[in-house]
Structure 1
Amino acid sequence: MRAYRPVKHRGKWCVEYYDDLGIRHRPTTGTDDRALADQIIPRIIAALERPAGRVWTVAEIWDRCRADKEAQGQVTATNMKFHWVALESFFGNKSPDAITIQDCRTYGAQRLEQGKSIGTVVAELKHLRLALGWARKHSMIQATPFVEVPSSPEPRDRYLTRSEFERLYDCAIMPHIQLSLELLIATGARVDAILGLTWSRVDLERRKIHLADPFTSRRMKGRASIMIQDDLLPVLVTAHQNRTCEFVIERGGDRLKSIRRGIDSAAKRAGLEGVSPHVIRHTAAVWMAEDNVPMEEIAQYLGHRDVNTTRKVYARFSPEHLAKAGRSLSWRTRAEREI
């Protein structure tokens, strides 16, 4: 067995070793946290010491990838469980190097024939791509096969008015659903950030919520630190006093992995359609844009790394969007000025 040792390289903990030719390698754990790295390093070493020539099936890779995501508390693990129901029969027994572009197209066509939406097909194939990329990073396969994913559908332009949100909130009977709605609309955060939020990252004294989880090794989408506004503060203080575990969103002392069913039930009682946790995040951004908040601030609030992403989706909701361009075409005003 080779000699392995943990070292830091470019700010991340790695496993350093030398191959038979004396060439140094440093596969990364992806984290700068030593405690988390110590949990990941044995898995990297196990993958490196696996006998040469082992051919992994997609099913074996999927199981190990999902277990790894679950161990890190990632909501992706739950999504993978549901997506695998459809993917398993088509890809499960294949080896990664046997996957072709035509396989992806055939799979997509079959799912559409079954009445599934293009959005569902996109999500399933993206998770397949994720699992295979994970296998490559853990040296289970030499190269990641190309997984062709159809173009994502245009996002549904669904958001809630303030009166609709109030109806939704009033119809959310369970306290943990009401608290989830409060946090989703006040932070504009993704649902996985809310479900993974611990009280250690809620600073009631300084009125700050730190959405970034320092103990996850994944490259997270942007996570912001949010100021706790006046209307949210008493809600969080009460929830903190009544807490029974470390997670802010909990039920009976247990962390929740999903709030979709609770929100669906509240929406049904409120007579609202097309409501999801992501729609509430979208709603928060629309409200900010309608109040003429600068796109740069909205991007920071949502955790977008590129303000152009924010501008592309939300600029049209701003009262000032294209107003200057429109004013330049007001010929009567121009004519009066020229007289």
Structure 2
Amino acid sequence: MGYTGKAILGFFGKLRPDQITVTDCRGYAARRAAEGKAIGSVHTELGHLRSALRWATKTGVIERTPHIERPPKPASNVKPMSDDQLRALIDGCSAPHVRLAVILLIATGARVGAILDLTWDRIHFETGIIDLRLPDGVTRKGRAVVPMNRMARVALEEAYNARLTDYVVEWAGRRVKSIRTGYQAAMARAGLSDIHIHQIRHTVAVKMLQAGRPLVEVSQFLGHSNTQITEKTYARFMPERFAAAAEILDLSGFNEPERTSQNRRK
């Protein structure tokens, strides 16, 4: 919200909430598109504005939430990363805190914010559990409790022995609030391009589904509030679900009896 707020306030900041019109929303979308922003990003930014205004109405700051028109959200065209790309990305991380963050992103399928919020009191080495939930439960996006795989355990144990703060991802004795620069540098070293960090989360989901894990299991692992969200986002990566239905429509042998009788006459 803070990051997208810079763009939102630059356009809407001088307006009172009751002054915002559909024309303003369309003007904002047009400007961001002209600046090279993807429609999906514009959709998200206007969604953040709408969420803030709804909160303001709920808490009595304003009387009414204005209608915030958003461009239709495009269908996801994100492609999952290959195992080789994931390994190359890890190897490309020169800073220990960036490497740890990337490993945890891959091992948990969590969002970046959840990893950077993670504190050591929610890392349970004895039971092998990583609790991504915030203690007060205040977060707009769902967070899960996930098992710790071997890759994550090795990285976490190394970081725990060198810890200087309560935060799992730290640098020079301070909490890390962003790994944007380090991630981009790792991408360059790995020879990768045009792979947003959130693509790691998509990759985790696709790998699990393609390995045959149940949709409900993947949904809970990702911290989705319901399986409909998971299905809507990743159904195209599960074509095998419809294999039996496709067989019903198989007419490849439709003319075979006729051909067989013709061969007999010959």
Which TM-score bucket, shorter chain as reference? 0.7 to 0.9
1:141 corresponding residue in structure 2 = 62
Would you say 1:180 and 2:101 are equivalent positions? yes
Which amino acid is the alignment partner of residue 221 of structure 2? Y
RMSD value over aligned CA atoms? 2.2
**Structure 1 unaligned regions, length at least 5:** 1-75
Equivalent residue, structure 2, for 1:128: 49
CA distance in 1, matches of 2:182, 2:211: 29
2:232 maps to amino acid? K
Q: CA 1:117/1:325 → structure 2, altered by over 3 Å: closer, same or farther?
A: same
Structure 2 gap segments, 5+ residues each: 257-266
CA distance 1:183–1:329, shift in 2 (3 Å): same
Aligned residue among 140, 148, 153 for 1:233: 153
Instruction: Name the one with the larger helix percent.
Output: 2
Q: Does 1:294 align with 2:214?
A: yes
Deviations 1:273-299, CA, capped at 9 Å, x for gaps: 222221000111111011111111100
Q: TM-score, normalised by structure 2?
A: 0.88
Letter in structure 2 aligned against 1:320: E
The equivalent of 1:90 in structure 2 is 11
* Aligned 1:40-189 pairs, distance under 5 A: 76-77=1-2, 79-80=3-4, 83-84=5-6, 86-189=7-110
Corresponding position: 1:192 with 2:113: yes
More relative contact order, 1 or 2 (CA 8 Å, 6+ apart): 2
Q: What's the CA shift string for 1:73-119, capped at 9, x where partnerless?
A: xxx33x24xx42x3334322211111111211122223323443323
Aligned residue in 1 for 2:260: none
Aligned to 1:268: 188
Distance 1:205 1:287 in 2: 27
Residue among 129, 133, 136 paired with 1:215 = 136
Alignment of 1:315 with 2:231, yes or no, is no
Residue pairs, 1:322-337, within 5 angstroms: 322-331=242-251
* Alignment deviations for residues 148-205 of structure 1 (CA, whole Å, 9 cap, x no partner): 1111222232221001111111111111111111111111111111110111111111
1:280 matched to 2:200? The reply is yes
Q: How many residues align?
A: 257
Task: Give the counterpart letter for 1:173 in structure 2.
Answer: S
Give a deviation string over 1:11-31, Cα, whole Å, max 9, x none. Answer: xxxxxxxxxxxxxxxxxxxxx
Tell me the distance in 2 between the aligned counterparts of 1:310 and 1:258: 26
Residues 4-23 of structure 1 mapped to structure 2, 5 A cutoff:
none
Q: Which amino acid aligns with 2:62?
A: I
Measure the CA separation in 1 of the matches of 2:199 and 2:29.
Answer: 26
* TM-score, with length taken from structure 1: 0.70
- Equivalents in 2 of 1:146, 1:200: separation in Å? 42
Identity %: 42
Q: Which residue type is aligned with residue 231 of structure 1?
A: M
Query: Does the CA-based 8 Å contact 1:290-1:319 persist in structure 2?
Result: no
